[in-house]
Amino acid sequence: MTERVVLAYSGGLDTSVAIGWIAEETNAEVIAVAVDVGQGGEDLDVIRKRALACGAVEAEVADAKDEFADEYCLPAIKANALYMDRYPLVSALSRPTIVKHLVAAARKHGASTVAHGCTGKGNDQVRFEAGISSLAPELKCIAPVRDYAMTRDKAIAFCEAKNLPIATTKKSPYSIDQNVFGRAVETGFLEDIWNAPIEDVYEYTSNPAEPREADEVVITFKEGVPVAVDGRPVTVLQAIQQLNERAGAQGVGRIDMVEDRLVGIKSREVYEAPGAIALITAHQELESVTVERELARYKRQVEQRWGELTYDGLWFSPLKRALDGFIDEANQQVSGDIRMTLHGGRAVVTGRRSEQSLYDFNLATYDTGDTFDQSLSKGFIEIFGMSSKIAAKRDLQQ
């Protein structure tokens, strides 16, 4: 029986060439799988036909935009997930979505191997292969760019020699990955970390320095899930899409950072994630109103670890799965409305309301009607500071 390889297929030059390249290197039949996570671009049917024209024996395409939003972006919103306190895990979230479809296709078509187009120095090779091994330990993984030295020059030469139906135009100076949750840009002149990004880098966001009217938006959550924008019901995907448009028009969600890659190097990355940043900002603020103090403090530790696990490609790990349970429980009371002003590259919260609010006006006010018994504070301070006071006395005697 002929071996079969399932290839994560984008429709671009590198993965189109990889179909024939893998077939020649391994003598296997190639099944191409393209997954739409909101990256835009070509029609899925066009991509499917191109894969077949490039030599794939089968080609599958999946519209996974709602799945991506509901099962991957939403948990990140609930977790306020920001790697290194800044990056909303745009690329890291899409990889396990794609992995599930690759594994399903491998089992459907009897493939023994899954292939991807990642290099040997990035995070995505780990995300793909760790995810695949978690869902299907029996599958092998190959990466033509990494394992067979399939450079771009070689890819173009192979494409021309085989007369493949794919353009071999000059490559963009940037490496770009995008989906509905955001857009990642790297390489080119950005590799000099002294160079500032230019406007040509951005697509999802307008220049925040340009004068324009502010945009006020009200986002409604139910148990941590965005369910309405300005009072109109939305799915999670629609919430992201609408805020991508509105927050993006105000320049919200631009991030320029040097991040710690899993493989041990530092990398300069420019991100645009207007919808993600607006939703996480709103969700964080609603939590500040509805989540009890000790739970909120502990959740912040969980959020950091959750983000690291996701960034590191351990989406399907036991720890990540266990933390999901905690995060879902912590979101049970996170319901209500957040009003934000989108302007000048910022999403600024200006109002909060919730039937689950823990904010008590009568306890918080300094005016008439104050119900807080201030006479209790003196004794509280004495007891609260007692251990430090005792230690200080000892230390001063030494």
Residues known to be catalytic: 14, 95, 124, 175
Residue 38's nearest CA partner among 216, 196, 204, 199 is 204
Provide the Cα torsion 7, 8, 11, 16; round to 10°. -30
Contact 116, 141 (CB under 8 A): yes
Q: Which residue has the tokens 């989406």?
A: 315
User: Distance between CA atoms of 147 and 129, rounded to whole angstroms?
Assistant: 13
Do 334 and 313 touch, CB atoms closer than 8 A? no
CB contact set of 390 (below 8 Å; sequence gap of 6+): none
Q: How far apart are CA 141 and CA 282, in angstroms?
A: 40
List the structure tokens of 72.
């991957």
Beta sheet of 58-63, edge-to-edge order: 58-63, 29-36, 4-8, 113-115, 140-142
- Three-state SS letters, 318-333: HHHHHHHHHHHHHCCC
Q: CB 283: neighbour CB atoms within 10 A?
A: 23
Burial 75-87 (b: 16+ CB within 10 A, else e): bbbbbbbbbeeeb
| C-alpha to C-alpha distance for 130 and 128, rounded to whole angstroms | 6
CA distance 22 to 155: 12
The tokens of 357 are what?
């609010």
